Amino acid sequence: MHDIANFTALELWERMHSREISSEEATRALLDRAERLDDHGAFVTLTAELALERARALDNADDRTALLHGIPTADKDLQLRAGVPTGFGSRAFAGFVPPESDALTRQLDASGIVSIGKTATPEFGFSGYTSSLATGHTTIPGRSELGAGGSSGGAAAAVAAGLVPFAPGSDAGGSVRIPAAACGLVGLKPSRGRIPAASGLGSIGQLAVAGSIARTVADAALLLDGMIPRQHGSTVHRTTLRSPELDDGSLLASAVRGDRPRARIAVLTGPTPWEDFCPTPIGAEAKAAVETAVRELTAAGHEIEEIEMPHLAGYADEFVTLWHFNAASLPVSAEQFELLEPLTQTFIESGKRITADRVVNAQRRFVEFEQTVLAAFAPFDAVVTPTTALTPRPVGWHGEDPQENFRRQCQYTPHTSFVNVTGLPALSLPVHALDDGLTMSVQLIGRPGDEAGLLALGRQLERRIPWRERIESGFQQ
């Protein structure tokens, strides 16, 4: 009897291709775990019948060359899957069933995944924690008093509980990295434009991209590879935003080899980009995580320096402007508006008061912020920050008042959103174990398009810090 929950996605892939395990067997086992053990709100919907039908079809297929052939995972409840209820974490969309799948879902299907259901998200993914009036609280497996982070909290909780080996998420201000850190997992946010189906290029501010959450660096790379379409071995480019040369290699290969030569790495110091908006002190546990990462990166032979965060005057005002303006574009009727949560209502009402001139100016300032950060980071192969400034937050800690709620979100994760503004890739890694069984993570920020370099550095840290064993030791049976 296979202990499928303990297999990584890559290990499952190897056993499926050797016909040792079928996709149906793996899917059935993980559905059973999810039905028995999801007492922490990871899933909002399980689609057992559809998943098993899909798994059987893949097992019987003559062509088994798709990169993720037969591996079970789950869709975030912001993704559209034809015929499957999609609620966006909102009471206003209860019962909505999309007639068509979105581009990311279609790409993941083309890569061979089996979706076993929908993972929880806060309303429209607007917060860095996963609680909603529609679906309740999503918590860290085994720690019902602590939130799983957000907005991809359901995806992270599902991976941390061994309900799926990896899961896709979306990240507009930290929504992959924050829950990965809270749940002690690996979270990979790619460069803007790297994932054609969820590139970030189609929205004001260009913030939101797809990303991956997994227990290992290799699994995070494997899932991201599956999000990138290829023809004749090369990436399919849909924009001319960046040079194609870095695209055509396997990210999985970089993650497995981990053979990054001596790198020049900076530790980010000084005030965070949100300091003018509210105090953002860095907790002792977050500082300890950075110290752990620096110690191990130094031992691996890398050069470590310090760099102060460049001052981005007006950052908070411009970010809030575009965040609220995007919220105002949500297709909600007057009746639906009344069903929305106070935080979402506040964002929408604020966004509707923003003028076109104000939006254009904020967009221009975003470009200036990006240029300032890229110039400051240019000498370095990677920049290290804490992923979160504080330990995982208790359920309800953010509060109900919209203004205080947003301030607390900024205080918890002051280093994540500027990475979206600049379009840089980032990798969150659970490097530091706390005495209470929780972990603290660091964020490695890379050069534009250099996910491969980040994954190689992440793999080097993973060899020195056995976080996979730490995660799996907490699995329920």
Residues constituting the chain: 477
Which of 322, 309, 315 has the alpha carbon at shortest distance from 443? 309
Q: Which of 76, 132, 152, 254 is catalytic?
A: 76
Say which of 23, 101, 111, 151 is annotated catalytic. 151
| Residue 151 annotated among the catalytic residues of the structure | yes
- The distance between the two most distant Cα atoms of the chain, rounded to a whole number of Å, is 63
Which is catalytic among the residues 111, 127, 131, 175? 175
Distance of CA 353 to the CA centre of its chain: 31
Tokens of 60: 């019987």
What b-and-e string marks burial along 238-260, b requiring 16 or more CB atoms within 10 Å of the CB? eeebbeeebbeebbbebbbebeb
Check: CB of residue 152 under 8 Å from CB of residue 220: no
- Catalytic-residue membership of 131: no
By annotation, the residues acting in catalysis are 76, 151, 175
